[in-house]
């Protein structure tokens, strides 16, 4: 393990909820919950104001509403969050070539590899500058942990929340870890935590005292050895710049169980198409098609089929998913469906055939001359609704009142609050859902113009500069 705290872990504070508060002045300082708003929705993120009432991520939305009935409940806007994430990741990549994103709002950075930090003081300066840059560029806050290993840097950023910075000095790791609960360590989830608790092990110190042999007996060789090493603050995992995707998948949870077998089949076809779009957007293809079905009694079944070669053909994925569905009994009702593709590659079997045809100056199989190609709408695509569907939190624009967002809708009416990130709390107005002056809009940037100073403030210079 290294001798200086030059591994940085960044975790944006209550990211989705904080982004919504920054975009909507009337929600600042108030409880905000982001997630699925249907009867079976779950909380994606809760603002710190909502957490006071006990609301937390992965909680059923119905329970959150009981705990915080006066909070603002909004649907996620992932495209908006992704834009902000790209700004943040750009700041991290300016520090080092070794940036390991874990999600839209979380990443490790090897500062030593970037030449921007080599001891505790230089690392702390980078952390301070990064937090300032994030606030300047995005208007949001992030918490930073600095340590000599990835495990400790992540623990430090958790201790820094919200909007703080914690450095774990080399040599102090064991004293810091000792009294912490076992769930603090990576890989210790609820099941492992309960298993250890039944064995009388509740803190990291008690893991170290139990010894490696006892942990192997309790948890198995791989898990037991890894957990014992972490309890002794040993973590040699490097920061990896590229995390290879293992699969691409999509899934939907339905507010009401689906009993109609035809409807189930159509949903699987729709999910297969969405999965292929994601696959193509990532420039990937895959050999193994996976179907996931969660039934009315919460039992979850998965079925898979491996093809002879990788594909990104929607027809092939749809047909494979349909074959897999034939082996699943859905008569009692289905509450969740998912389609995924694994065994990923950056080429398809069809590509190889296409390259051979092109080399011979021939069109690939199935390819039409441009003038003859026609777009045929799929009969499985849902019909366009007669009236627009307005979702809580959605960005809109009105010809007379400008930019706003949906507070709620129902009974043929939609309530809009007209405000922008740089305005004060705006006025609320109600319209008919089919008002011709109302239309969906793109999110506005949280910070209109990026300050030039943010370009360089995070990089104090190479070692010895």
Closest residue by Cα to residue 444 from 429, 458, 426, 430: 426
Q: What 3-state DSSP class applies to 305?
A: strand
The CA distance from 57 to 336, in Å, is: 19
Token pair belonging to 197: 């608790």
Closest residue by Cα to residue 389 from 15, 37, 69: 37
Q: What angle do CA 120, 124, 129 make, to 5 degrees?
A: 155
**What are the b/e assignments for 444-458, b being 16+ CB within 10 Å?**
ebbbeeeeeebeebb
| Residue 345 parent element (H or E) | strand 334-345
CB atoms within 10 A of CB 347: 14
Sheet holding 106-110, edge to edge: 99-103, 106-110, 7-12, 142-147, 165-167
Closest residue by Cα to residue 240 from 421, 1, 7, 461: 7
Q: What angle do CA 358, 362, 363 make, to 5 degrees?
A: 85
Task: List, in sequence order, every beta strand (DSSP E) within 23-170.
Answer: 32-35, 43-46, 72-74, 99-103, 106-110, 142-147, 165-167
Active-site residue, 350 included: no
Token pair belonging to 83: 């834009």
CB atoms within 10 A of CB 340: 25
Question: Considering 100, 106, 173, 267, which one is annotated as catalytic?
Answer: 106
The CA distance from 42 to 186, in Å, is: 24
Closest residue by Cα to residue 251 from 159, 340, 367, 158: 340
Closest residue by Cα to residue 231 from 285, 198, 187: 187
Sheet holding 413-418, edge to edge: 427-432, 413-418, 402-410, 395-398, 438-440
Backbone angles phi, psi at 2, to 5 degrees: -70, 165
Task: List, in sequence order, every beta strand (DSSP E) within 148-284.
Answer: 165-167, 247-258
Closest residue by Cα to residue 40 from 389, 296, 266: 296
Residues annotated as catalytic (active site), given as ranges: 106
């Amino acid at each position: 393990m290294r001798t200086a705290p030059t591994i940085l872990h960044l975790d944006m504070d209550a990211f989705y909820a904080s982004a919504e508060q920054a975009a909507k002045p009337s929600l600042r300082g108030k409880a905000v919950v982001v997630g699925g708003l249907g009867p079976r929705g779950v909380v994606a993120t809760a603002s710190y104001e909502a957490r006071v009432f006990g609301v937390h991520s992965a909680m059923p939305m119905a329970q959150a509403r009981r705990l915080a009935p006066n909070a603002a409940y909004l649907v996620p806007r992932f495209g908006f969050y992704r834009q902000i994430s790209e700004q943040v990741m750009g700041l991290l990549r300016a520090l080092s070539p070794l940036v390991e994103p874990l999600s839209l709002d979380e990443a490790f950075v090897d500062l030593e590899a970037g030449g921007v930090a080599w001891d505790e003081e230089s690392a702390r300066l980078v952390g301070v500058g990064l937090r300032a840059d994030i606030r300047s560029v995005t208007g949001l806050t992030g918490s930073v942990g600095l340590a000599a290993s990835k495990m400790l840097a992540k623990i430090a950023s958790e201790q820094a929340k919200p909007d703080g910075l914690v450095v774990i000095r080399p040599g102090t790791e064991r004293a810091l870890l000792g009294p912490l609960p076992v769930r603090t360590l990576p890989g210790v989830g609820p099941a492992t935590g309960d298993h250890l608790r039944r064995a009388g092990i509740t803190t990291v110190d008690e893991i170290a005292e139990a010894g490696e042999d006892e942990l192997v007996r309790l948890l198995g060789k791989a898990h037991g050895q890894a957990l014992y090493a972490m309890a002794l603050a040993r973590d040699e995992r490097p920061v990896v710049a590229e995390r290879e995707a293992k699969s691409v998948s999509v899934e939907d949870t339905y507010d009401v169980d689906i009993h109609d077998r035809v409807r189930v089949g159509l949903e699987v076809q729709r999910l297969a198409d969405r999965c292929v779009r994601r696959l193509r957007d990532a420039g990937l293809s895959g050999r193994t098609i996976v179907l996931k079905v969660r039934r009315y009694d919460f039992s979850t079944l998965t079925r898979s089929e491996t093809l002879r070669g990788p594909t990104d053909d929607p027809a092939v994925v749809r047909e494979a998913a349909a074959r897999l569905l034939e082996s699943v009994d859905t008569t009692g009702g289905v509450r969740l469906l998912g389609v995924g593709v694994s065994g990923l590659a950056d080429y398809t079997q069809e590509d190889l055939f296409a390259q051979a045809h092109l080399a011979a100056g021939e069109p690939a199989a199935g390819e039409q001359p441009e003038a003859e190609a026609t777009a045929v709408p799929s009969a499985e695509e849902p019909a366009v609704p007669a009236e627009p569907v307005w979702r809580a939190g959605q960005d809109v624009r009105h010809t007379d009142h400008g930019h706003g967002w949906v507070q709620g809708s129902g009974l043929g009416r939609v309530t809009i609050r007209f405000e922008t990130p740089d305005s004060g709390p705006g006025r609320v107005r109600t319209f008919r859902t089919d008002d011709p002056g109302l239309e969906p809009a793109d999110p506005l940037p949280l910070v209109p113009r990026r300050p030039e100073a943010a370009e360089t403030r995070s990089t104090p210079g190479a070692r010895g500069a």
